[in-house]
Structure 1
Amino acid sequence: MKLMIEIPDEEVYELGRKTLQSKIEEYVQILKLEKVLKEVSMEIKKFFSEEDYWKEVEKIREEAWREYKKEFNLK
């Protein structure tokens, strides 16, 4: 599929063709990443309820905090 965007010549000259092209390509990559993240999110939701998810997050936080305290000899 080809998508054409009309941009006034003055703006293209002012901003630069390569700059515009680069920014549009970056944005397309971001959109692709968002799509993948949404798909991953849907897959995760198939295996965990929201309640289970937050329980797991809390468990990981507690474990990380314990490890952090060990490194600094905190009690």
Structure 2
Amino acid sequence: MGKIILEVKDEDLLQIGEAKIKEEIEHTLKWIKMKGLLKSISRALSSLKVDYEKEVKAIKREVWKEYKKELPL
């Protein structure tokens, strides 16, 4: 096996490092904003006082009825 030696200036390495750090910070900030949005959505939904299990059961019943109508019997 051979060796490959690359000459890289310190300034270039610093620029690459700074760009990567900036990218990671932006990525982290996006996730923090998303987490905040999800929390506010969760709070809004929990304040609605809706029985989601009851709603889901009703929707499932209705969908099942519609599905049975389309079955070739």
> What is the TM-score of this pair, normalised by structure 2?
0.52
d(CA) in 2 for partners of 1:63 and 1:44? 23
**How well do the aligned residues superpose, as a CA RMSD in angstroms?**
3.4
Q: Give the match for residue 27 of structure 2.
A: 26
Larger radius of gyration: 2
Structure-to-structure mapping, 1:52-67, within 5 angstroms: 52-60=51-59
- Structure 2: 5+ residue runs without aligned partners? 1-12
Of structures 1 and 2, the one with the larger relative CO (CA 8 A, separation 6+) is: 1
Aligned pairs, number: 60
Amino acid at match of 1:54: E
| Identity of matched residues, % | 33
> What is the TM-score of this pair, normalised by structure 1?
0.51
Q: Give the match for residue 10 of structure 2.
A: none
Distance 1:68 1:20, change over 3 A: farther
- Structure 1: 5+ residue runs without aligned partners? 1-11
d(CA) in 2 for partners of 1:42 and 1:60? 23
Q: Which runs of 4+ in 1 moved over 2 A?
A: 54-70
